Amino acid sequence: MQRNPDKFWNPYLAGVALGLVLFTSFLVMGSGLGASGASLRAGIAALEVFAPSHVASTPSLARAEASPHVTWLVFEIFGALLGGVVAAYTSGRLRGEVLKGPRIGNGARLALALAGGVLMGAAAKMTRGCTSGQALSGGALLSVGAWAFMFSVFGGGYALAWFLRREWR
């Protein structure tokens, strides 16, 4: 049976489901979801291979390496990868491809994805959490910083959207 890869859950029901996952995390762990911490730990693991003493001598890296919450995020993201695979497989979206607008080539799209990733990585370290850890988890607990961050994210996105229309439209 062919599945329609453009069919998604109703956004509000998906939101409630996501909220319940977040709520479970609050109740069980006393902390929210996150993602960028796991990326940082991956980077630290790579650095450990090439320059083992460097991590220990950089306070921010050493702190992240020792943090139990960051370890927790690594396992959470491992689970998210598994959940993503199962969800994509059962909805017909599990296939190797490059997603982009019709007017841009694959190479340019991949380069932009990498560049955007670097921007977001630096930004998420600055804001002590990304859209998952800060906006979602902090927003639900009414932190002022999280709400300011969330509005800034939407602001930044809308501000640049016009310049990047060739990538998506």
Q: In the range 65-124, which residues lie near another protein by CB under 8 A?
A: 68, 71-73, 75-102, 109-124
Closest CA to 31 of 127, 129, 120, 125: 129
Q: How far is the CB of 67 from another protein (least distance, A)?
A: 12
Q: How far is the CB of 154 from another protein (least distance, A)?
A: 6
**Residue 164 touches another protein, criterion: CB under 8 A:** yes
Q: Give yes or no for a contact between 135 and 153, defined as CB atoms under 8 angstroms apart.
A: yes
Which residue, chain included where needed, has tokens 């450990």? Answer: 48
Q: How far is the CB of 143 from another protein (least distance, A)?
A: 4
* # chain residues binding another protein, by CB under 8 A: 134
Residues 27-65: b if buried by 16+ CB within 10 A, e if exposed: eeeeebbbbbbbbbbeebeeeeeeeeeebeeeeebeebb
**Residue 165 touches another protein, criterion: CB under 8 A:** yes
Q: How far is the CB of 52 from another protein (least distance, A)?
A: 15
**Cα–Cα distance measured from residue 161 to residue 152, given in angstroms and rounded to the nearest whole number:** 14
**Residue 166 touches another protein, criterion: CB under 8 A:** no
**Residue 52 touches another protein, criterion: CB under 8 A:** no
**Residue 131 touches another protein, criterion: CB under 8 A:** yes
